Amino acid sequence: MGVFDVPTPFLLQAISRDLKEHQKVQQPAFAEYVKSGAQAERAPQDPEWYYTRCASILYRVFKDGPVGTESLRTYYGGRKSRGVKPHKHYKAGGKIIRLALQQLEKSTLIKKGEKGGRIITPLGQKYLNEMSGVALELSKNYVKKKRVFKKGDKMNAEVRDALKRGGKKEGNKDEKRDDMKKKKKGDSE
């Protein structure tokens, strides 16, 4: 099972759970108070957001090859609302990314490259492949909701017919006006 064979959200969820349970990465004490970057208005709402970020960084190192702190800061940055001024892209905070890279390197999942940046180790590659198997099991439990119209339901049949027509109603306005005039004449007599 390869890393690209499973949906990325399920893979990141499986990796973050495993990083937390097997204590390969420790969440720093300041992580519950700090924002993820200058572009963010508030700190992340998820109390386990640091593990998700570490999983995402591990995936980025695998996917993008040798990456450093600055390229990851740009990737995790975002648009900042500056009031009436136009939006501007701000980089994410470097301390969080740097600390995550150091902890992943300490657990021998990544290592420093010869020309700079971090690259995935063979152990890290094996770990990602194992986690993709776990993620595949998670994705099988996920059921995508589908919108299905029942044939017997009159309201759904009308909606389905309207969608087939492109949202246009049957009949023209003149016929409807004539019908309304006939009803008014019938009521007044």
**What would the pLDDT profile of 19-73 be if each residue is shown by its tens digit?**
999 888 899 988 888 888 888 888 888 888 999 999 999 999 999 989 999 999 9
Whichever domain contains 8, its CATH number is 1.10.10.10
Same domain, residue pair 111 and 24? yes
Q: What per-residue confidence (pLDDT) applies to 172?
A: 55
- 74-133 per-position pLDDT tens digit: 999 999 988 999 999 999 999 999 999 999 999 999 999 998 899 999 999 999 999 998
Q: Is residue 97 part of a domain?
A: yes
Same domain, residue pair 134 and 175? no
Amino acid letter at 54? C
Q: What per-residue confidence (pLDDT) applies to 88?
A: 93
Nearest CA among 115, 116, 129, 89 for reference residue 1: 129
Average pLDDT of the residues in 132-139:
87
Range of the domain at 72: 3-141
Same domain, residue pair 120 and 43? yes
Q: Is residue 147 part of a domain?
A: no
Q: Is residue 50 part of a domain?
A: yes
User: Could you write out the three-class secondary structure of the chain?
Assistant: CCHHHCCHHHHHHHHHHHHHHCCCCCCCHHHHCCCCECCCCCCCCCCCHHHHHHHHHHHHHHHHCCECHHHHHHHHCEEEEECCEEEEEECECHHHHHHHHHHHHHCCCEEECCCCCEEECHHHHHHHHHHHHHHHHHHHHCCCCCCCCCCCCHHHHHHHHHHHHCCCCCCCHHHHHHHHHHHHHHHHC
Backbone angles phi, psi at 81, to 5 degrees: -80, 120
Per the structure, the count of domains in the chain is 2
Full-model pTM: 0.72
Q: Is residue 105 part of a domain?
A: yes
Q: Is residue 28 part of a domain?
A: yes
Helix pair angle (122-141, 8-21), 10° resolution: 110
Same domain, residue pair 42 and 111? yes
Same domain, residue pair 57 and 90? yes
Same domain, residue pair 163 and 82? no
